Chain A
């Protein structure tokens, strides 16, 4: 039980330097990358071979349109803003998650989640939780790759990875799972607690000391706090709320994300996918639509995204959480203006990102792109600017970023603030 000696204080406690408008962040990670011209930046006058086959529909913002695939989000443009000139790294790479933009990036750079986690800390729940669907491919770059976790902050700031399926059945890391017949209430029995700790200790003894400490402390804090543990129980939600998100792993993961934010988790990353990971080769793996782009968007991706993300915004607003919760939806990249010989769109740096809540001014469409949505006609927004904007909104100012050694010299996306 020597490992318990260091458990009296919060594992990652840190007092925010100042309060920001956002007390929490939900990052919706649409890995691969949504085709900007088929979703949030339609170009009906693009040349043949580039032009989206989907009709445009007006948003609630005068003069601005989405494609017909996103009617619910279009009707909520008064709740969100779109940055149409986001310039990321045109390849599979989690570097945008840490604000980096190219191959010279630092592999030990902490991700946005780690930065926010270090800024806020939490007393009970892990400060950075990443939610993925079961069966997520081992090739998913957002799971454990450089720039996706704590980096040089240490593994204490890695995301706490959990799985959520379409039934909202949650798969916690094994060291967090209660044994058969156990409940948070029973864990108040110290003898039971000791037995579980010993079991958990055996699980983690083979791992690095820092990892051991992180896992052990998280397990202790969560398993001993019934209310915190119940944040993972989506069945506590009203059926009406669960239905509104859609019974996909993506929809239910968004709902779980809202519950975790409500319980005090400062950064939740919801990773796209639903129960059809392998539906299409090279395309079902997130939003990497090299093949069959249009069928995939119409039959599968956009209906689920439109429903789930709209429900999240409504739910946060209904609960009075939208003003204090920053929601960002983004991918690794955008897609090529030209339609490939496989009926798909390939990798491209220019993309659209969605922002809502947490101090973001809604109803704004930022940046102009050319007639194919391939080139930015106004100043591009970089990954560093995304990170700096997140930091400012959560109250991590330039001095704080300097002390952390992150996002130094970064600029905010002023039109959002």
Chain B
């Protein structure tokens, strides 16, 4: 009330509040793309200043409009090129949800080829690959640091661990090789860079909350407890923080918390959508898909101090 009665006296306090607030939000974001096409799933290539992300192919007046392509952006020059070749598949191919092992040797991603879903894992160093077929439906891969283990979502709701590159592994349909963990309703897994834990989202208890579990499937812990969705969690490079998307304020925003769920900090604050956070290798910045003026672009944000 004082502000309205004595506006002049309130000005210094307002300025101070603005300054403090500005410090809390840690500066304006840096816009990395400006084409506005729908994007998702950004991830930095380990050890390189390169960003991999999925982007809707420019849908023109003919042909296969609307397919997703995996792109690579080099920083700081922001040069963008196709990462995975478009391929010759009839009906086109959409790729999404790229995961990279910590040593950059193995990649895993989900594809739709001619309206049939697949998941692919490639050992880039040894030119080996595994293609996981359509049944059961699998998606959201995440790789262990050495690229020897794969966690993913099976049938849209069950988390599964799998040892890769075993001689007797034919494909992901071999359920005898599965190591299910968690409970029905689990989604969005992400390996910690130190390989010790997997963070994921589940609606097992109520709405979507974030949980963490040891990589051997033990020690499950719930990290968030808020109304609304907490999704798309990603470990920081040092495995000590977790970035995630939440609509707890009624809109999709990006937050960061310590790996034990403490010290919540808000990264974005905008009436449009902010989603798909990914950590810069320096651990001080996040790249986020932010919708601004109806366009989807990649922005780099400072991570607020702990």
List the interface of chain A (C-beta within 8 A of B): 53-55, 57, 68, 71, 133-137, 163, 165-167, 169, 171, 239, 242-249, 251, 273-282, 284-285, 291-295, 298-299, 303, 307, 339, 341-344
Could you pull out 30 A-B pairs where Cβ atoms are within 8 angstroms?
Answer: A55-B207, A55-B229, A68-B247, A133-B65, A165-B59, A165-B60, A166-B36, A166-B37, A166-B59, A243-B293, A245-B294, A275-B58, A276-B38, A276-B66, A278-B64, A278-B67, A279-B68, A280-B117, A281-B117, A281-B134, A285-B115, A292-B139, A292-B156, A294-B187, A299-B40, A303-B273, A342-B136, A342-B156, A343-B137, A343-B153
Total interface residues on B, CB under 8 Å, equals: 56
B296 proximal to A (CB < 8 A): yes
Is the pair A166, B38 in contact by a Cβ cutoff of 8 Å? yes
User: Is B261 at the interface (CB under 8 A from chain A)?
Assistant: no
If A169-B60, A247-B293 are given as contacts, then 9 extra A-B residue pairs at C-beta distance below 8 Å, sorted by A number, are: A68-B228, A137-B115, A166-B59, A242-B294, A247-B294, A251-B294, A278-B115, A299-B275, A303-B291
Contact A284 B112 (CB under 8 A): yes
Also in contact, A54 and B207, with CB within 8 A (given A135-B63, A294-B156): yes
Shortest beta-carbon distance from A21 to chain B in Å = 31
- Report the bound CA distance from A52 to B293 in whole Å: 30
Asked if A293 meets B156 with Cβ closer than 8 Å, knowing A134-B66, A278-B92, A303-B273, the reply is: yes
Taking the closest CB of chain A, its distance from the CB of B47, in whole angstroms, is: 29
Q: In the complex where A166-B38, A281-B117 touch, is A135 in contact with B94 (Cβ < 8 A)?
A: no
A61 and B56 alpha carbons, distance in the complex (Å): 37
Q: Given the known A-B contacts A53-B208, A166-B37, A243-B293, are A278 and B273 also in contact in the complex, defined by CB atoms under 8 Å?
A: no
B295 at interface (Cβ–Cβ under 8 A)?
yes
Give the distance in Å from the alpha carbon of A295 to the alpha carbon of B59 in the complex: 23
Q: Chain B interface secondary structure, helix, strand, loop or mixed?
A: loop
A281 and B66 form a contact (CB under 8 A) = no
B127 contacts A by Cβ under 8 Å = no
- Closest B residue to A134 using CB positions: B65
Give the residues from 100 to 142 in chain B that come closer than 8 angstroms, CB to CB, to chain A.
112, 115-117, 134, 136-137, 139-140
**B250: contacting residue among A71, A246, A282, CB under 8 A:** A71
Taking the closest CB of chain A, its distance from the CB of B96, in whole angstroms, is 7
CA distance A361 to B133 in the complex (A): 50
A53 to B229, CA, bound (A): 9
B177 interfacial contact with A, CB 8 Å = no
User: What residues of chain B lie closer than 8 Å to A68, measured between beta carbons?
Assistant: 207, 228-229, 247, 250
A54-B229, A294-B156, A342-B136 in contact; A134/B294 too (CB < 8 A)? no
Give the interface of B toward A (CB within 8 A): 36-38, 40, 56-68, 91-94, 96, 112, 115-117, 134, 136-137, 139-140, 153, 155-157, 185, 187-188, 203, 207-208, 227-229, 231, 247, 250-252, 273, 275, 291, 293-296
For A248, the chain B residues whose CB sits under 8 A away are 38, 294
Q: How far is the CA of A244 from the CA of B275 in the complex (A)?
A: 19
A295 to B200, CA, bound (A): 13
Q: CA separation between A124 and B147, bound complex, in Å? A: 63
The 10 A-B residue pairs with the shortest CB-CB distance, nearest first, are A343-B156, A135-B65, A53-B203, A134-B65, A171-B61, A275-B56, A281-B117, A277-B66, A243-B293, A243-B294
Q: How far is the CA of A280 from the CA of B66 in the complex (A)?
A: 12
B53 to chain A, nearest CB (A): 14
Partner of B67, one of A167, A277, A281, A294: A277
Q: Give A239's nearest chain B residue, CB to CB.
A: B293
In whole angstroms, how far apart are the Cα atoms of A278 and B293 in the complex? 25
Q: Are A246 and B294 in contact (CB under 8 A)?
A: yes
Contacts of B91 in A (CB 8 A): 278
From A133, A169, A242, A294, B66 is in contact (CB under 8 Å) with A133
- Given A298-B231, A342-B136, A279 and B64 touching (CB < 8 A)? no
A residues less than 8 Å from B250 (CB atoms): 57, 68, 71
Contact B252 A303 (CB under 8 A): yes
Q: How far is the CA of A163 from the CA of B92 in the complex (A)?
A: 19
Cα–Cα, bound, A295→B63 (Å)? 27
Interface pair A134/B96, CB less than 8 Å apart: no
Q: Are A166 and B56 in contact (CB under 8 A)?
A: yes
Q: How far is the CB of B188 from chain A (nearest CB, A)?
A: 8
* Chain A residues with CB under 8 A of B273: 303
> Is B296 a contact partner of A249 (Cβ separation < 8 A)?
no
Q: Which residues of B contact A135 (CB under 8 A)?
A: 59, 63-67
User: Which residues on the B side are within 8 Å of A275 (C-beta)?
Assistant: 37-38, 56-59, 65-66
CB–CB A291/B156 < 8 A: yes
Contact A344 B67 (CB under 8 A): no
Q: How far is the CB of B201 from chain A (nearest CB, A)?
A: 10
Please determine whether B137 and A342 come into contact, CB atoms closer than 8 angstroms: yes
Q: How many Å lie between the Cα of A414 and that of B129 in the bound state?
A: 61
Flag if B112 contacts A281 (CB, 8 Å).
Answer: yes
Instruction: Find chain A residues with CB under 8 A from B66 CB.
Output: 133-135, 249, 273-278
What residues of A have a CB within 8 angstroms of the CB of B37 in the complex?
A: 166, 275
- Enumerate chain A residues within 8 angstroms of B93, measured Cβ to Cβ: 278
Closest approach, in angstroms, between the C-beta of B86 and any C-beta of chain A? 13
Closest B residue to A285 by CB, please name it: B115
**CB pair B61 A163 closer than 8 Å:** yes
Q: Is the CB of A279 within 8 A of B155?
A: no
Q: Is the CB of A276 within 8 A of B68?
A: yes
Partner of B116, one of A243, A245, A281: A281
Residue from B60, B185, B251 in contact with A134 in the complex, judged by beta carbons closer than 8 Å: B60
CB closest chain-B residue, reference A275: B56
- Given known A53-B185, A280-B112, A295-B187, contact A133–B231 (CB-CB < 8 A): no
* Bound CA–CA A267/B252 (angstroms): 35
A306 to B58, CA, bound (A): 23
Q: How far is the CB of B40 from chain A (nearest CB, A)?
A: 7
Closest Cβ neighbor of A53 among chain B residues: B203
